[in-house]
Structure 1
Amino acid sequence: MRVYWICLAGACLGIAGVQLLPDLPSLAIISLLAGLSLLAWLCVWPSPFPGLKALLLGVLCFLLGMAYATHKGQLRLADSLASIHENKTSRVVLRVAEIALYGPDYVQFKAKVLDRFSIQGIPVHIQVRWQAGTWPGIYGKPKDINDKLPLIRPGQVWEMSLKLKRVHGAMNPNGFDYETHAFANNIRAMGAVKGQPKLLADEPFSSFAIAVERLRDQVRSAMLPYLKDKRYGSVMVALVMGDQNGIAQDDWKLFNLSGVTHLVSISGSHITMLAVLGHFLVLWGCKRIKLKGKLLSDYRSIHVLAAFVGLLVAWAYCLLAGWGVPAQRTLLMLAIGYGLILFRWRMSIFFILLLTCLGVLLLDPWAMLSSGFWLSFSAVAVLIWLGRHHAQQGSVNRQNRGKKMLSAFALAARFQLMITLALAPFLILLFSQFSLVSPLVNAYAIPLIGWVITPLSLLFALLALLNLHTPATQWLGNLAHDILQGVLDLTQWFAQLPWASIYIATPALWGLLLAMAGVFIVCQAKGLPYKNLAWCFMVPVFLGKADRPLPGYWNLIALDVGQGTAVVVLTQRHAVLFDAGPRTSHANEAGSRTILPYLRSAGVKRLDAVVVSHSDVDHAGGFASVIAGVHTGMAYASFGLERFLAEEEKRLDQDYVLPNRDLAYLPCGQGQAFSFDGVSFTFLNSGQLPLPNESGNAQSCVLKVQGSQHSALLTGDIHVEQEAGLVQLGLEKVNVVVVPHHGANTSSSLPFVQALKADHAIVQNGYLNRYGHPHRQVQRHWEDAGSVFWRTDRDGAITVRSSIQGLGLLAARSTTKRYWHAR
């Protein structure tokens, strides 16, 4: 059995290891090494060294796993968008591959291009977005006009003109990696519909996968009329079929704060419940049906039939639920479990879990890129240990009913607390957040959602799909929703408590490994005295802080926020934000999307100062969200921030509640300065007094950061004229400059560039932005002056570290590069 463990672990590590590489390894070299490993294993086979033989076999399985993952990676990379089609419009014929996501004024869906060979360089698997009506503007709320769009159904064949782009996402430290998400989901290009598409055919049974997706679409379409006006109707759809696209952002915030996100996805308990139901229905029926004078239940083979039906039911529901990682894991474990029972094999439950892990990775080598993979397997492993530990302790059967209920409640509470603690390192690593109310909320939410609401929702969906007894269907839907609303209303109360959740800096690798070791010791070390003290190994994860510079030094992070500016400057104990990034729509701005998640992952609980250089929306767009999301000491600007904030609330129809109600709003005047931890922050330009309601590029605040050895200049969107004024003031050399106006040719004049003599010039600009920033001539100016030229659309966020050893720069795309990035 030990050899099998080593082989399975080697194969899993081989497949997973490839997904961590910046470039795919050579398949030929891997094959050669695998051949040598096989030869070595054959050579030592007659020897009396079982450990050596097991090790060589493990190495062989590791290399075979690498070869498999590399081959799959090569196939997926080959399906890419050629540069000649980048940002160009092409006429393509495609088939809708999955159920569509509907927004108020758009529909989005995955599609398979059918005529790719007539147009070379267009990938097969793309994501299409079809926008209806006209753009409502940055502050305009989209009108619900998707009824003007046709119903998009899996299997439909369309001819469309698409403006195609490669998949590109922002790359920030500890931020969400959209390119990885898209690659794992086989989205190889993005297409925006232009003109009027033409429906060519509807082929719902063109393939088994399309038929399954069409059934999922029919289930959703049958449910939605009954749930149209229901507050949590989209959550019920998610419980039934795993379609989470309709869940509102506010609901996701609630689930994250309360730690119940796992309950609104298809879990193993749902699938197992249906498998067991199918199994026992067969046995129940067989006890009542006779064949040749004997009950069917008297035939031994009937148990095989029951197991087969149970697996068939589980498989069918996994397909209906979207075939996610938890579904795959549960189905494989059920299949292995049934096999062990029927064939009377003996196998460790953790061996089954490892075998299941290999099965999931063989089905989808990129499954390990999702957080669900790690949380799902980790939760099951802890549950297995808890169940086994409880079974070893035995149960007390002589207790009265009241004591049994108390014991059951105490056991459930203990299980929930242990699971919460065991998963804490992963949750903090993935989300920089830990819910303190999670054990309390899950104690009532798990049984109610798993054992009451989900079965009712499934029965409701079945009646809606069959269109039987419409009043009964509506009553059942109302009942399930009313119970769900009661559960989530109580959860909302818990989530609003001041101590409901805490934000924790992303832990260092050593802290994470130490915490995982502690969990392993508690779960696995049999008979070890005081083993529960291993929970203390998790303390560094909860108390850990991000690395900060010494007094007199600073860290500067130019975040990747698209076409806009947002720069964080960290000293030993303080933090300053220069500009708050762009707002691109009513519901999308850089404050909540990028800046706040970064600050939380970096352990920043207070911004000592926020500077908004001017009122353009690409610099001030996220300001309101930032000061509402983190305690802010003071705010500087070249315009009236209080009036700006009031106007934002009016335009967005939203009230911002600030943690610091006494926030001071100050003008950025020439010579005005503040300092933290031996680092000075000085404004170099003179502001207009009284402050206007709005300010343009020319009025941008310019901030100089000066440490004991290194300096940086943050310039906003100043033009050549303002640059000349700064040169006349006697600009001195700086080590780092954030290039004015995103690299536009109206800035970065030669005298300004030559006066600064910057070692590094950073441009914050958006991918394929319509302005053509940065201008080639601007880049040439900086490079000719000896500056290393960085741009966030190509390099991701740029982190500059000022230290005694010197100035160090890291580009997010270099430090976290994987073989699929920017390909």
Structure 2
Amino acid sequence: MFDLRFALALLAGTMVCLWLPEPPGVVLVSCMATAALLIATALPPVSRAKLRWLAVFAVGFALAGAHALLVLHRQLPPPMEHRQVALTGTVVELPQHEARRTRFVLRVDDMPAVQDALRGRRVRLAWYDDFDAPTTPVDAPRLRVAAGSRWTLSAKLRAPRGLRNPGGVDGEKYALVERIVATGYVRDPESAREIGRPRGLHAWREAMSRRIAAAVRTDGARFVRALALGDTRGLSDDDWSRLRATGLTHLIAISGFHVGLVAGFFALVVRALWWLLPALGRRMPRPQAAILAALCGAALYAALAGFALPTVRTVLMIAVVAAARLSRRGWRPVDALSLASIAVLLCDPLSTLTAGFWLSFGGVAWLLWCLPRGSGHPVRDFLSAQAVATIGLLPLGAVLFGQASLAGPLTNLIAIPWWSLVVVPLSLLGTALETLHAGWGAPLWRLAAGLFDPSWQLFAWIGDSPLALWWLPEPGWYALPLALLAAFCWLLPRGAPGKPLALLLWLPLLWPDRDLPRQGEAELVMFDVGQGLSVLVRTRHHRLLFDMGPAVPEGFDAGERAVVPALRALGVRALDAAVISHGDNDHAGGFAAVAAVFPIARRYAPEGSGLAAKIPVLMHPRLQHCGADAGWTWDGVRFRFLHPPPHFPYLRNESSCVLRVETAHGAFLLTGDIGEVVERDLLRRDPAAVRAEVALVAHHGSDGSSDPAFVAATGARFAPVSAGYGNRFRHPKPAVVDLWRHHGARTPLTAESGALRFRLGPDGVWFETERGRHRRMWDAAGRQAQACRLSYGDDDGTSPCRGDAERDTR
């Protein structure tokens, strides 16, 4: 009964539900559950047999819907947002200690009655200035927040919400999968009190991690902690970049592959023990004992990782295989895989939203289809399996991560046997000995680090090569099925016809259409960078970036987290020009991260800004000033600076570069943070130059900008606003938004709509939002805006709903 068709029907129902643009609603979920029950119980046997797959589909839909609705219903309601609340709870998982903050997950266990909405739920918090002085994460002399400790503190919370850009991480989906109901930061840290010492599994993991750091003084210590305990806090961004470039991220931390190796090791030990002591066979047959030992070993190793989702999924798969073997039925490998997927879907249908689910089950499925039996040559089998995994998983990896590791097949040939069969066993054995007696594990940890370091030096050198990683533009929806079909054709037996033609099916994935503007047209993409600004202007063959968003030391860098991934997803390889409108952090902070990735031919900033001293990379090549009337033409599109004029003193916001992008079909006006005085001056000097189809609302919609005469003179059809959700400046101001709307402009807001795209062409202005392009049930902006309007009615300028942007596209 629980065969491949059952698993596929259950998976289809789960995915159809989770990819709905809106939450399914209690009525629909109940109807699907009722339909499944009626098919299973009320229909005659003949009809039941014909409709059983429809019943399984309905079960998957109902189960996924119930899980999603429960998590979304538990998220922090809009009336509680941005309020300071008292929390009491336990720190779960390992806190992320940084020089200026600590991030951790708190499971609320008891709180005042007025806050019952958060009882027993998980919130992610940041504690700023956690250390008295900058220290390394593990060697800090005092860690105020430790795993497993209980705290009472005050925090300012909001529902999970993330930036939405092409190629960006979907933070709201991550919160749904992890059951995070709110995020926020600790207020009044001095009043926070620890009311319970660290205890439990996570406290033991953190203590053992500190022991490894103290025993191993080489760079390999951070990798030993990751491989032995799943503690990746010591890995830097450069480490992760090199791991991605070499295709080795699946081997770091405690992966499902390592759980399987440990399970196999426990099984071999038990089989050897039963062989040495035959009397044990009278109590339990050797095969059954080995299977149970493998399951116990997998569970113990998953506990070391804190029962992270990939390890739990692997343990479930091993448990299913164990049950099948213990039942003494003739289970085929595909049946075991199907049963394992059914178990995972029934336990946690939301896991289908993670990349690990598809990579793990997809990898095993490809291997079962292509390598049904061993050839008797281990080296040949290993190489064949590596080739199958590389070809079969390339489409999924490219779509899920937007990249393809060209060095991955080579590096995995070395890393899989060396790390998994040498470094990981030594790390685990050291941890086991250290658990028995303090100090016993140190020699093995040092040996593991010493054996790891030479291989990492090699892989780091390969990862730093520009040929190691291939970033791919965001493809169309049809690219994945075509690429999977191509992989299927390539993995057919030798002599199968049509293999060369299958190369064409890879093209939509590996060389997708970047949808570039035509000659004489221009496109503007306003990225969602929070409280800041970053805009990409594209013509047929050129790219200009206007501002790069904010950056906080040891914290969020919009250039790295939002702008760079978005540029890669749009297929940008280099920038022909970059403009920093002025020196404020919310406009210039992300420049260093962008310049580290993309070559920039020309760089502009206002004269006297001092940016060259603050950001030395600006001087390579020489920094140019964005003086009024300076300009150029690209692909039939005219670029011209309107401000500041010659000899204008640097006055921060008022000295912002103002850029006009003019085509035969209209113009864009990029205004930076100028105020009403400069707007009136622009109108006085050249009234025609301010007229534009799309005019950025200056200074994020503050009440010191958007002069009424200037707004009327622009004649803009669209006046987009770049501002962060719930920002402390309360931008955009309702009066400013109303003014632009009064003059006929639509005012989409990045905080509500995500990245905004405009194109000037023969048909006028084409407009699209990132949230509107990919609408999902976990979309926080849509649900919160709807809840706000239901609670407060229409926006009157005083409700928490003000600033909601239009989500329509046209």
| Fold match (TM-score > 0.5) | yes
Shift of 1:10: 1.6
Secondary structure (helix, strand or coil) at the match of 2:575 reads strand
1:276 pairs, out of 261, 264, 271, with 264
Shift of 1:645: 3.9
2:801 counterpart residue number: none
Contact 1:624 1:645 in 2 (8 A): no
- 1:700 maps to amino acid: S
Distance 2:584 2:622 in 1: 21
For residues 234-249 of structure 1, the aligned pairs below 5 Å read: 234-249=222-237
1:670 aligns with 2:628: yes
For residues 114-263 of structure 1, the aligned pairs below 5 Å read: 114-116=109-111, 118-120=113-115, 122-123=117-118, 124-132=121-129, 146-150=140-144, 152-154=146-148, 156-193=149-186, 194=188, 195-202=190-197, 204=199, 211-227=200-216, 229-263=217-251
Contact 1:11 1:64 in 2 (8 A): yes
1:457 aligns with 2:427: yes
**Closer, same or farther in 2 for the Cα pair 1:718/1:121, shift >3 Å?**
farther
Q: Deviations over 1:604-638 (max 9, x none)?
A: 11211111111222111122332331122212221
- 2:672 maps to amino acid: G
Q: Which moved more, 1:370-379 or 1:334-343?
A: 334-343
**Closer, same or farther in 2 for the Cα pair 1:734/1:723, shift >3 Å?**
same
For residues 769-784 of structure 1, the aligned pairs below 5 Å read: 769-784=727-742
1:441 aligns with 2:411: yes
Distance 1:616 1:416 in 2: 50
2:683 pairs, out of 722, 727, 734, with 727
2:799 counterpart residue number: none
Shift of 1:410: 5.7
Distance 1:143 1:225 in 2: 12
Distance 1:793 1:245 in 2: 30
1:74 pairs, out of 40, 51, 69, with 69
- 2:388 maps to amino acid: M
Distance 1:727 1:524 in 2: 68
1:56 pairs, out of 36, 43, 51, with 51
- 1:100 maps to amino acid: P
Distance 2:202 2:664 in 1: 62
1:381 pairs, out of 365, 381, 406, with 365
Distance 2:508 2:233 in 1: 36
1:538 aligns with 2:531: no
Q: Which moved more, 1:174-183 or 1:334-343?
A: 334-343
1:14 counterpart residue number: 13
Give the RMSD, CA atoms, in angstroms: 2.9
1:367 aligns with 2:351: yes
- 1:543 maps to amino acid: W
**Closer, same or farther in 2 for the Cα pair 1:298/1:523, shift >3 Å?**
farther
Shift of 1:130: 2.4
2:306 counterpart residue number: 322
Shift of 1:702: 0.9
Distance 2:138 2:356 in 1: 32
**Closer, same or farther in 2 for the Cα pair 1:706/1:510, shift >3 Å?**
same
1:707 aligns with 2:675: no
Contact 1:232 1:481 in 2 (8 A): yes
Secondary structure (helix, strand or coil) at the match of 1:366 reads helix
Contact 2:130 2:144 in 1 (8 A): no
Distance 1:141 1:719 in 2: 42
1:208 counterpart residue number: none
Secondary structure (helix, strand or coil) at the match of 1:626 reads helix
Shift of 1:117: 5.5
- 1:432 maps to amino acid: G
- 1:788 maps to amino acid: R
Shift of 1:756: 0.9
Shift of 1:278: 2.0
Secondary structure (helix, strand or coil) at the match of 2:561 reads helix
- 1:703 maps to amino acid: L
2:746 pairs, out of 784, 788, 792, with 788
1:556 aligns with 2:524: yes
Distance 2:525 2:755 in 1: 7
Shift of 1:761: 0.9
Contact 1:222 1:465 in 2 (8 A): no
Distance 2:53 2:664 in 1: 53
Shift of 1:172: 0.8
Secondary structure (helix, strand or coil) at the match of 2:760 reads strand
Shift of 1:42: 7.6
1:88 aligns with 2:83: yes
- 2:412 maps to amino acid: N
2:757 pairs, out of 792, 799, 803, with 799
2:252 counterpart residue number: 264
Distance 2:226 2:124 in 1: 21
Distance 1:341 1:572 in 2: 61
Shift of 1:109: 2.0
**Closer, same or farther in 2 for the Cα pair 1:32/1:581, shift >3 Å?**
closer
Q: Deviations over 1:198-245 (max 9, x none)?
A: 2223484xxxxxx43344334334433213x33132221111122222
TM-score, with structure 1 as normaliser: 0.88
Q: Deviations over 1:98-152 (max 9, x none)?
A: 332222343332122223461236422112322336899xxx9999995344352
1:752 aligns with 2:710: yes
Shift of 1:300: 6.1
Distance 1:673 1:493 in 2: 42
Shift of 1:506: 1.6
Distance 2:371 2:22 in 1: 42
Paired-residue identity, %: 31
2:402 pairs, out of 391, 416, 432, with 432
- 2:274 maps to amino acid: C
Shift of 1:644: 2.7
- 2:632 maps to amino acid: F
Q: Which moved more, 1:218-227 or 1:435-444?
A: 218-227
Secondary structure (helix, strand or coil) at the match of 1:760 reads coil
Secondary structure (helix, strand or coil) at the match of 1:788 reads coil
Secondary structure (helix, strand or coil) at the match of 2:162 reads coil
**Closer, same or farther in 2 for the Cα pair 1:300/1:153, shift >3 Å?**
closer
1:467 aligns with 2:437: yes
Distance 1:535 1:340 in 2: 40
Contact 2:76 2:159 in 1 (8 A): yes
Contact 1:107 1:146 in 2 (8 A): no
1:812 aligns with 2:780: no
Distance 2:556 2:158 in 1: 20
Distance 2:202 2:456 in 1: 29
Contact 2:99 2:554 in 1 (8 A): no
Q: Which runs of 5+ in 2 are unaligned?
A: 785-810
Distance 2:116 2:343 in 1: 33
- 1:82 maps to amino acid: P
Secondary structure (helix, strand or coil) at the match of 2:349 reads coil
Contact 1:371 1:430 in 2 (8 A): yes
For residues 680-699 of structure 1, the aligned pairs below 5 Å read: 680-688=638-646, 696-699=652-655
Moved >6 Å (runs of 4+): 40-44, 140-145, 524-527
Distance 2:330 2:519 in 1: 61
Give the length in aligned residue pairs.
775
Q: Deviations over 1:231-270 (max 9, x none)?
A: 1322211111222222111111111111111110323332
Distance 1:83 1:33 in 2: 30
- 1:131 maps to amino acid: Y
**Closer, same or farther in 2 for the Cα pair 1:683/1:717, shift >3 Å?**
same
2:779 counterpart residue number: 821
For residues 395-794 of structure 1, the aligned pairs below 5 Å read: 395=376, 409=379, 412-468=382-438, 470=439, 473-523=441-491, 528-531=496-499, 534-586=502-554, 588-639=556-607, 644-649=611-616, 663=621, 665-688=623-646, 696-728=652-684, 729-731=686-688, 733-794=691-752
- 2:598 maps to amino acid: V
Contact 2:155 2:185 in 1 (8 A): yes
- 1:577 maps to amino acid: L
2:806 counterpart residue number: none
Contact 2:98 2:554 in 1 (8 A): no
**Closer, same or farther in 2 for the Cα pair 1:222/1:130, shift >3 Å?**
same
Secondary structure (helix, strand or coil) at the match of 1:585 reads coil
